[in-house]
Amino acid sequence: MPKLLLRQYAKVLYQITKELSGKELDRAVLEFFKLLKDNQMLKKVDLIVEEFLQYAKECEGIDKITITSAHKLSKQVTEEIAKKFSKHFEVAAQIDESLIGGVKVRKGNTIFNTSVRSDLEALEQALKH
């Protein structure tokens, strides 16, 4: 049997546990660990759990939003920015002093760049032409 990818194991775990609780959940997790053992994947259980958590958030409609700014933003400001992009979100904040001002917001594969640096770069390109 071919080995499954980490993401596939995460999806299997999510599907078999999403509506279980108590002893049923314990039994399902035990069977899942037997599957990992049979496929020699126990060493990768931490990575599978990471994938599981990410997949579960996706299934529940929770978006991961990364906000990068030149200076530390308050939690309130960070959450207000994130709310503009999603109703249900998990937000991560980063500092990049090279931005000078403004923010970059990443949601999935989309980046919204309102930094002063990007404005200056656009102005430079416009002046060259």
pLDDT in the model for residue 108: 86
Mean per-residue pLDDT, 68-82:
95
Is the pLDDT at 3 greater than 70? The verdict is: no
**CB atoms near residue 45 (< 10 Å):** 16
Give domain limits for the chain: 6-59, 63-128
Question: Which of 102, 52, 107, 50 minimizes the C-alpha distance to 82?
Answer: 107
Average pLDDT over residues 87-105: 93
Q: Is the pLDDT at 4 greater than 80, yes or no? A: no
- Residues 29-44 pLDDT 10s: 999 999 999 999 999 9
